[in-house]
A and B are shown apart, each in its own frame.
Chain A
Amino acid sequence: MKLTLSSSPHQRVRRDTSQVMRLVILAMIPGIMAQVIIFGFGVLIQATIAVITAVITEAAILQIRGRSAKFALNDFSAVLTALLLAVSIPPLLPWWMTILGTFFAIAVVKQLYGGLGFNLFNPAMAGYVMLLISFPAAMTLWLPPQSLASIQPDFVNVLTIIMTGFTESGHSMDQLRMAADGITMATPLDSVKTALSQNYTYPEALDEAIFTNNLNASAGAGWAWVSLAYLVGGLFLVKINVINWHIPTAMLAAAALLSAVFYIADSDSFASPIFHLLNGSLLFGAFFIATDPVTASTTDKGRLVFGAFIGMWVIVIRTFGGYPDAVAFAVIVMNMAVPLIDYYTRPRTYGHTAKRARKP
């Protein structure tokens, strides 16, 4: 009888890459639901467009590369990338921009670097940054939360505006962005940034309609709920060991600490740590973006450094930079530093006493 040979170990954890990806997707559901409730169906349509684009792009490129498309698609990494991009872009972004961004993320950022496991940059964030730089206006057109909006488009209208730029009833994007009082609604980060740049104080900036009656008035209406929903999903991932706690903790702690330093130094000119944590994509990014294993540091110490620097970059760019939010930029910048971080944060091997003379 011929016996089968295989290499030890002969037992394995039942969780494979595909399951890891699907668990992350599962953990995104609370956040996506919050986005749907607060900002409408746009995010679902964007997700659909992005996922279809990602799967087709990945399959096509793998075909060209002579790899098994079925095997690679099975790992759900393309789907996850598409979803991460879809929830990051404005819900009413024209359809072709979503396709372009997804295509860029999968084809250029992921597959041209060698596919899953070989990409240097976070594909979703690189796609987002590409869109933001190419279409800055469209990429900052966020709808007001539905509770504050003058017009609340239904599913069909959302679909038509994504596809044609106008609702069935002929409303344009600008009209949809009006608040109930007829003033164009900015995102919380945007409105504070604008106010501070116009020499309003931070408390004055919080006097906007978007902030009133929300969580001690420092969180934007709706936005905070989305962030908190992603926090729930993220904590779930940490709990089931899909992601390590190091990166999110370091990132949020560094962001909070740095913004606290600014806030304590001058609470009129700088936003509070609570404001920074609850608005924008800091929480989402800390648990879902910066933790992308492929592009993050892999040592425990390295993960702390990586996360902390992202947190600091976010606050620095939000406070002094030109863009209201900065998670994507911070992540991309730190992706570049990963090999360096990994190199200098190697753990001490068992039985080794002094720091070794490092040979590259």
Chain B
Amino acid sequence: MLLQQLINGISVGGIYALLATGYALIYSLLGFSNWAHGEVAMLGAYIGILSVTALQMPFIFAVILAVVGAGFISVFNEKIAYKRIRDNNSPTMFLMIAAMGLSTTFQNLAIVVFGPKFKMYPQILPVGAVKIGSLSVGLLDLVSLGIAIVAIIGLEYLITKTKFGLAVKAASSNMGTASLLGINVDKYIMLVFFLAGTLAGISGILYGMKYTVYPQLGNVALKAFIASVFGGLGSVQGAIVGAMSIGLLETLVSAYIHSGLRDLITFILLIAILLVRPTGLMGKDIQDKA
């Protein structure tokens, strides 16, 4: 029973991690909390579900459309709001306020366009559980975990092993100098928004399949935010660890204490970490000595 709950928790954690890593990437680059990130996941979930139900598309095409669509919505946010604010040299606070505005706009737009009702993804995977010995684990949870792991490994590779990753790290450290040395910073910011958007899209679909799709689905980004703070703001590895921890914590609290206390305990964790260790678990603060 416990092992089963743990797998369940990691699976939920994987969904959070997909959101939290993108959120952390944007934070590390631009130093603001992108509150519209959850709405990108929500819109991705809607694109997916409507492609399958209304347009009768094969599931795999619907997923691709949703993931790429979410990437473009994320880039749209950057182009229409954040880039302009940066170009005006406005304070970082303006970015966060713009993100809140986008978040509210998308949520209400979804209510108007898609309706306030909860929508169910049609049954794609056979319902049921996989039996491993005495364990029985939901098939969807396993698949979801697998997809999250593959996506996160891909992201890690991109950041630590490629020229793209080096450019993003340099830009997040010092944009002016990165640009002096040949990095087209605006291009890389756009690519990061696209990448973060696609991860959010995957997250939105998985979340929608596990639960339902509804206009406030984006609020799940709050969990990703807590995961990111818990792991260390701006750190991608930290976001993964944080997301897994929160997934586990929530599942265990629901299973063994009371499901009503789930969010309460998560938020207590947020307050505790801010008080005790504000840099988070893996937040590295490399201060300039000179």
Q: Do A and B interact with each other, yes or no?
A: no
Query: Hey, which bits of chain B sit against chain A, CB under 8 A?
Result: none
